[in-house]
């Protein structure tokens, strides 16, 4: 009855299990070998990896386990992850929920979106801040963890299950993305899980997943960027007249900073009705954020960190600053402002 104290937690009487062993036992007790289980996810790498770890934990314990996604996978790295690791993800709709007996959620909480909200979950395993989502029989939520993949790695270890190379690769990628390679919030547990998975993962596949951020058509922007480039001392500038999103400008700015004696890369482009400027530098006694603020703060939003910054300027704010609305004129405007 010691649990009674926790009966007013946001998840009702489902107090947080004390150990992985206890959580695992409770999870297994809540499921039946006849159950058709659906694990729902909003598919980012941490969620995908966690779902497949959970599926592995349920092998031979339930009739079937399906990993259902509530939206299509779009990011190119994530598409590469799903393709190379051959992870079977099923797009899930409300009308197909009747095909399942039990519902589990990883890397999210029921009130995170309208789709999850409708589902009567048996268990939720997550690392987001605790939200008051009502009662769930088993809620293992650890907001201090860097990734849900870390929590699931601990479950696997508690169950004495050695993850396959595929699963280890997925989990290590989940941890790396959610902690931004340990540059963001993480704890010793994340490092420990990473270390445990390191020797089991396929690092060639992992590398391919991590570098796959380009579509074939993006290569045309590389050609354009290289043709339009201007180098002035340790600065490289380039401008793209029209791009679908700022993402490609970021990729190009990172790419151009690879040139060994270049200290600044400044990539601009027009996205819809906005001039976007991306700045990267080597971060050594320089401040991209301050520079970009000084250059473009008067025209639009501009700011960032020491080594990475961005400005977004509505073209209508440039009526006077850029008289002829040609790509060359915008390119010159950016160069002029950044060199003052
Ligand atoms: Mn996550």
Burial of 248 (0-12, 13-18, 19+ CB in 10 A): buried
Closest by Cα among 255, 295, 298 to 277 = 295
Question: Residue 310 Cα, ligand 1 centroid: separation in angstroms?
Answer: 26
pLDDT in tens, 52-110: 999 999 999 999 999 999 999 999 999 999 999 999 999 999 999 999 999 999 999 99
Mean pLDDT of the chain: 93
Residue 14: per-residue pLDDT:
55
- For residue 56, the CA-to-ligand 1 centroid distance in Å is 19
How far are the Cα atoms of 40, 153, 173, 185 from residue 119, in angstroms, in the given order?
9, 25, 28, 30
C-alpha to C-alpha distance for 46 and 49, rounded to whole angstroms: 5
* Helix 45-57, helix 148-158: angle, nearest 10: 20
Determine the distance separating the centroid of ligand 1 and the alpha carbon of 113, expressed in angstroms: 15
| 3-class secondary-structure state, position 98 | helix
* 232: pLDDT strictly greater than 90: yes
Task: Please tell me the predicted confidence (pLDDT) of residue 143.
Answer: 93
- Helices 219-227 and 247-256 pack at an angle, to 10 degrees, of 60
| CA–centroid distance, residue 177 to ligand 1 (Å) | 8
Centroid of ligand 1 to alpha carbon of 200 (angstroms): 21
pLDDT at residue 11 in the model:
47
The structure's pTM equals 0.83
Least confident of 1-15, 112-126, 228-242, 324-338: 1-15
Whether 128 contacts 147, CB under 8 Å? no
**pLDDT level of residue 6 (50, 70, 90 thresholds):** very low
User: Is the model's pLDDT at 301 over the cut of 80?
Assistant: yes
In 3D space, the residue among 103, 181, 179, 94 whose CA is nearest the CA of residue 144 turns out to be 179
- Flag the least confident range among 11-25, 109-123, 142-156, 311-325: 11-25
Q: Distance (Å, rounded) from C-alpha 13 to C-alpha 329?
A: 65
Separation of 140 CA from ligand 1 center, angstroms? Answer: 14
Q: Any idea which architecture 218-338 has in CATH?
A: Roll (3.10)
Is 70 exceeded by the pLDDT of residue 3? no
Q: Which residues of 312-338 are buried (b: 16+ CB within 10 A; e: fewer)?
A: ebebeebeeebeeeeeeebbbbbbebb
Which of these, 278, 333, 329, lies nearest to 304 by C-alpha position? 278
Q: How far does the centroid of ligand 1 lie from the alpha carbon of residue 191, in Å?
A: 15
269 close to 254: Cβ distance less than 8 angstroms: no
Backbone region of residue 174 per phi and psi (left: phi > 0; alpha: psi in -120 to 50; beta: other values): alpha
123: pLDDT strictly greater than 90: yes
Question: CATH 3.90.1640.10 in the chain, residues?
Answer: 2-211
Angle between helices 45-57 and 76-84 (to 10 degrees): 30
Q: What is the pLDDT of residue 286?
A: 85
Of 241 and 286, the structure prediction assigns the larger pLDDT to 241
Residue 61 has a pLDDT of 97
- How many residues does the structure list for the chain? 340
Say whether pLDDT at 339 is over 80.
Answer: yes
pLDDT at residue 272, rounded to an integer: 97
What pLDDT does 2 receive? 38
Question: How far does the centroid of ligand 1 lie from the alpha carbon of residue 185, in Å?
Answer: 11
CA distance 140 to 150: 13
For ligand 1, the distance from its centroid to the CA atom of residue 150, given in whole angstroms, is 9
Cα 131 to ligand 1 centroid, rounded to whole Å: 15
- For residues 300 and 312, the answer to whether their CB atoms sit within 8 Å is yes
Class in CATH terms, 2-211: alpha beta
Domain with CATH 3.10.310.30 in the chain: 218-338
Write out pLDDT tens, residues 182-216: 987 789 999 999 999 999 999 999 999 999 999 99
Report residue 285 as tokens: 């006694």
Q: Per-residue pLDDT for 256 more than 50?
A: yes
Residue owning tokens 């990883």: 106
- How many angstroms separate the alpha carbon of residue 308 from the centre of ligand 1? 24
Sequence-ordered list of residues with C-beta below 8 angstroms from that of 31, at least 6 positions apart, any chain:
37, 58, 61, 62, 102, 122
Mean pLDDT of 299-310: 94
């Amino acid at each position: 009855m010691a649990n009674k104290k926790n009966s007013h937690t946001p998840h009702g009487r489902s107090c947080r299990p004390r150990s992985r062993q206890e959580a695992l036992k409770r999870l297994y007790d809540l499921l039946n070998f006849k159950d058709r289980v659906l694990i729902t996810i909003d598919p980012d790498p941490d969620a995908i990896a966690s779902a497949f770890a959970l599926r592995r934990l349920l092998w031979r314990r339930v009739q079937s386990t399906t990993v259902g996604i509530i939206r299509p996978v779009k990011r190119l790295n994530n598409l590469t992850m799903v393709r190379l690791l051959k992870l079977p993800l099923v797009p899930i709709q409300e009308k197909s929920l009747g095909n399942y007996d039990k519902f589990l959620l990883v890397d999210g909480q029921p009130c995170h979106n309208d789709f999850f909200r409708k589902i009567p979950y048996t268990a939720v395993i997550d690392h987001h801040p605790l939200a008051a989502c009502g009662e769930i029989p088993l809620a293992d939520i650890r907001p201090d963890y860097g990734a849900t993949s870390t929590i699931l790695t601990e479950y696997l270890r508690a169950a004495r299950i050695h993850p396959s190379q595929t699963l280890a690769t997925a989990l290590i990628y989940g941890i790396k993305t959610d902690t931004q390679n340990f540059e963001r919030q993480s704890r010793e547990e994340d490092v420990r899980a990473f270390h445990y998975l390191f020797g089991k993962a396929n690092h060639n596949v992992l590398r391919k997943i991590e570098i796959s951020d380009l579509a074939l058509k993006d290569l045309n922007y590389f050609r354009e960027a290289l043709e339009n480039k201007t180098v002035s001392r340790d600065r490289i500038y380039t401008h793209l007249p029209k791009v679908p999103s700022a993402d490609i400008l970021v990729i190009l700015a990172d790419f151009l900073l690879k040139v060994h004696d270049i200290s600044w890369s400044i990539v601009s482009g027009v996205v819809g009705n906005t001039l976007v400027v991306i700045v990267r530098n080597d971060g050594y006694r320089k401040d991209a954020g301050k520079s970009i603020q000084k250059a473009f703060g008067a025209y639009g939003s501009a700011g960032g960190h020491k080594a990475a910054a961005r400005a977004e300027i509505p073209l209508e704010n440039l009526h006077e600053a850029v008289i002829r609305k040609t790509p060359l004129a915008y390119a010159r405007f950016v160069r002029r402002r950044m060199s003052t």
